[in-house]
A and B are shown apart, each in its own frame.
Chain A
Amino acid sequence: MLPLFFGTTGRELYGVFHAAVSLGHAGRGVVFCNPLPHEAITAHRAYRLLADSLARERIHCLRFDYLAIGDSAGESQDMNVAAHVEDISAAIDELKAFSGVRAVYLVGMRIGALLALQAAKSRDDVAGVIAWEPVLHGPAYRNELIAEASPSSPGYWDIGGLAIAEHNLDTVGALELPGVLQGVNCPVGLIVSRHHPEFDAIQPMIERGELRCRSEIVDDALPWKADSIIGAAPIPAHATSVIKSWLTSSI
């Protein structure tokens, strides 16, 4: 693992590069797109282990923090979900420049999946997107977050111990998977656990072919949902295996 800062001065993003291990990488790279920060804390381990695993399959990987989140520049109160797509784009550029890969895939979890799809639409060099446990309906997700949150400072919600601004929830609430999928020209893979809170809605859509993407239903525990006390989630072995399989062949 090689931690690094990238991006423009004053807006540096913190990333961790997992270099493909053997001589002659596969020419493929993966950028990981985080969910909202309270879920990213829990998903971090799954991402790290998956990136390590993919690197052993000769695939370069870059995990990173969006601006104003984690170790990237900026303060948490300045977090702006609407600008995360630009950060994903910067990460793609960095991975291509740094490692020389030509084909970049995006792996995004929860809202990160929808942001990855948006980024793919804005570029012509994304080879594929894996939407891992994506949010289906943004408005329902927004309501779910608020139901579990407690308001504190004006304009902010305490969500899982993290202060998230109201405008970010509005941004999230405007996203829906079917709509975001429209216009994506690269292959898309969808991975959904039976424990996904919207599984009952997603499964029929998959069966009816409404989402027009490759899909896999897994039995993993939710990789972004940790027990509030221990702050950790089980490793999603099934999904990890599927993602590796897709990325070592092609989506």
Chain B
Amino acid sequence: MAYKFDMSPNPASLDSPVVRERILNYGSNTPLTGVFTYHPQHYQRLAPCLVILNAGVVRKSGPNNLNAFLARQIAQRGLGVFRFDFAGVGDSPNRQDGLPLRDGVLRDVTESLDELEAVVGARRFVLVGLCSGADNGLRAARIEADRVIGLAMMDPTVFRTRKWLLVKLAKRLAALDFWKSVLKLRHSRIRALHDPLLGGPASAKSGTPTVEKPELYTVGLKERDEIEVCLREVRERGVALCFAFTGSWAELYNYRTQLYDVYPALGLEKDVELLYYPASSHTFAFHEHRRALASDLLRWLDRFPVAEAAPDS
């Protein structure tokens, strides 16, 4: 069966705006479900296949259909794009293989790549993930570096720098509301003492209830050293990296080149694609932001040439 999806015309796309989507059910121990998107006339089997990972516990269509949107936009350029649900997320049942979630996520990626190799003949893959999906993508790229050639991470785990603090402070001082508050004497010394940005103790005693996050949020990467090791390793193994940060991540990331300062020893500025969308929400909720993201990802994907077919393929 084939399904056509009428898409709004995209000036950057191929002549026909029509892509097709097929559902794949697979998995050796745990049933997994995904959707493969491709262009029936322009699909390049030897081009890298994109695999979009779940963002947290949001199902495969992504927040506000972001994953479905990216899949359809990118498929118009002739690439195959696959989005799937990790076991226990969306429409994939809970794990049945007894693996801990941290390992299970990696198994699910491996089985997805195996399935795509078997069904659509893909041999090289680019992983794409938002938030925890980005962190899981990095872990997966590390173990699948033989066939993963690219990794795009949107709002991954990242760390503040000294310059982040200065930028934050400068923005606060430049904000009219701040000075209005000062004039109204609402910024008392006591308040300042309790403001972590101004050097006071953090608001840990504020009584705000702590929320336990689902496990899928926490199986990714948390430590800077661990992430640095992963990044170093995947780069050395030839995985091209693309980072994208949004304005919603400003409490962690608030200037374009912060990534380079977080990992100065890696020299990421030499070969990493760094995208910054200060006006965008974390989930690229608005059309102009997701269109910009899709356009930038397509430009980055141009770096991957279509592989030559083997004589017997």
- Chain A: residues with CB nearer than 8 A to chain B? 1-5, 9-12, 14, 16, 37, 41, 44, 48, 65, 68-71, 73-77, 152-153, 156, 158, 161-163, 227, 229-232
**Do residues B91 and A3 form an inter-chain contact, with CB atoms below 8 A?**
yes
Instruction: Tell me the dominant secondary structure on chain B's binding face.
Output: loop
- Cβ-based interface call for B64 (8 A): yes
Report the minimal beta-carbon distance from A81 to chain B, rounded to whole angstroms: 15
**Do residues A232 and B286 form an inter-chain contact, with CB atoms below 8 A?**
no
Instruction: Tell me the dominant secondary structure on chain A's binding face.
Output: loop
CB contact under 8 A between A163 and B5, given known A5-B21, A70-B68: no
**Do residues A73 and B5 form an inter-chain contact, with CB atoms below 8 A?**
yes
CB contact under 8 A between A65 and B61, given known A1-B33, A4-B23, A70-B68: yes
List A contacts of B58 (CB < 8 A): 41, 231
**Do residues A163 and B57 form an inter-chain contact, with CB atoms below 8 A?**
no
Report the minimal beta-carbon distance from B89 to chain A, rounded to whole angstroms: 9
Interface range, B side: 35 or more
Chain B 44-79 interface 0/1 with A at a Cβ cutoff of 8 Å (1 = within): 000000000000111111011100110000000000
CB contact under 8 A between A161 and B285, given known A230-B214, A231-B56: yes
**Do residues B61 and A70 form an inter-chain contact, with CB atoms below 8 A?**
yes
Within 8 Å by CB of B64, from A2, A37, A65, A71, lies A37
Report the minimal beta-carbon distance from B7 to chain A, rounded to whole angstroms: 8
- Alpha-carbon distance between A11 and B69 when the two chains are bound, in angstroms: 15
Most buried by B among A4, A16, A75, A230: A75
**Do residues B61 and A73 form an inter-chain contact, with CB atoms below 8 A?**
no
List A contacts of B8 (CB < 8 A): 75
- Cβ-based interface call for B4 (8 A): yes
Within 8 Å by CB of A75, from B21, B69, B214, lies B69
CB contact under 8 A between A161 and B214, given known A5-B21, A41-B58, A75-B69: no
Most buried by A among B8, B31, B59, B68: B68
**Do residues B25 and A3 form an inter-chain contact, with CB atoms below 8 A?**
yes
